[in-house]
C-alpha cells in the first residue's frame, strides 16, 4: 500500500527555496557577533575620522591665532625699541640745536636713516611749523599743519604700513620743535 503525503494529495509541494530576504536574515542571525563587530569597526573608523578632522581644524585655528599674537608682540617690541631710540635721538638733536649746529643734526639724520626700518626723519620748528631738517630734502622749508608737530609728549601713531613716532624737543623755557621718525612695519 502506498502512503501518500497529505500535502501531495492537495497538489501543493512544501516550499524548498527560501526567499532571499529570509536567507539573508538567517545568515545575519547565525553570524550576529561578526556583523556587530563589523558595524562597530566602521562606526569607530568614521568617528575617528571626524575627530581627526575636528582636531586638524582646531590646530590650524590655534596656529593662526598664535602667529597673529606673536606678530603683534614683535611689532610692539619693535615700536617700543624705536620709541626709546627716538627719545634718545631727540636728546642728541636738542643738544645740537641749543648750540645752533644744524649741520650736525643733519648728519645725525643721515646716519639714523641708514637703519633698516627707518623710512623718514623730520625736524619741525615749533615757532613757525616749518620742516627745517628732513631726510627728504624736497620737504625742507615746507609748512606743516600736522597734529604731530604740536605734541607735548612722545606720541606713536600707527598707519597701514608704518609707525610714526613724534618726540617733542623742549628747551629751557619753551618747546624748540618736534622730531618725527617714520618706521616701517
Q: What is the CATH number of the domain that holds 72?
A: 3.30.450.20
| Host domain of residue 70 | 54-184
Tell whether 10 is covered by a domain.
no
Q: What is the pLDDT of residue 18?
A: 60
Tell whether 85 is covered by a domain.
yes
Q: How many CB atoms lie within 10 A of CB 131?
A: 21
Q: What 3-state class would DSSP assign to 120?
A: strand
- Where are the extended beta strands (E) located within 113-171? 118-125, 131-134, 155-158, 162-170
Contact between residue 91 and residue 105 where contact means Cβ atoms under 8 Å apart: no
pLDDT in tens, 51-103: 999 999 999 999 999 999 998 898 888 888 888 988 999 999 999 988 888 89
User: What's the mean per-residue pLDDT of the chain?
Assistant: 85
Instruction: Using pLDDT thresholds of 50, 70 and 90, give the confidence band for residue 11.
Output: low
Q: How many domains does the chain have?
A: 1
Tell whether 136 is covered by a domain.
yes
Tell whether 132 is covered by a domain.
yes
Q: In sequence order, what are the beta bridge partners of 122?
A: 134, 180
Residue 113: what are its φ and ψ, rounded to 5°?
-65, -15
Tell whether 133 is covered by a domain.
yes
For residue 125, is pLDDT > 80? yes
Tell whether 44 is covered by a domain.
no
Q: How many CB atoms lie within 10 A of CB 164?
A: 18
Q: What is the pLDDT of residue 140?
A: 87
Tell whether 116 is covered by a domain.
yes
Amino acid at each position: 500500500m502506498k502512503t501518500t503525503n497529505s500535502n501531495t494529495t492537495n497538489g501543493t509541494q512544501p516550499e524548498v527555496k527560501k526567499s532571499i530576504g529570509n536567507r539573508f536574515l538567517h545568515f545575519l542571525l547565525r553570524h550576529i557577533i561578526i556583523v556587530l563587530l563589523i558595524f562597530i569597526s566602521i562606526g569607530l573608523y568614521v568617528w575617528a575620522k571626524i575627530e581627526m578632522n575636528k582636531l586638524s581644524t582646531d590646530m590650524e585655528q590655534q596656529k593662526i591665532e598664535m602667529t597673529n599674537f606673536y606678530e603683534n608682540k614683535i611689532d610692539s617690541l619693535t615700536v617700543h625699541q624705536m620709541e626709546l631710540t627716538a627719545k634718545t635721538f631727540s636728546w642728541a638733536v636738542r643738544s645740537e640745536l641749543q648750540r645752533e649746529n644744524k649741520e650736525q643734526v643733519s648728519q645725525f639724520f643721515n646716519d639714523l636713516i641708514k637703519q633698516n626700518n627707518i623710512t623718514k626723519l623730520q625736524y619741525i620748528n615749533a615757532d613757525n611749523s616749518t620742516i627745517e631738517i628732513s631726510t627728504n630734502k624736497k620737504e625742507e622749508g615746507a609748512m606743516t599743519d600736522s597734529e604731530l608737530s604740536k605734541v607735548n609728549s612722545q606720541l606713536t601713531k600707527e598707519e597701514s604700513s608704518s609707525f610714526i613716532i613724534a618726540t617733542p624737543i623742549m628747551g629751557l623755557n619753551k618747546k624748540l620743535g618736534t622730531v618725527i621718525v617714520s618706521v616701517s612695519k
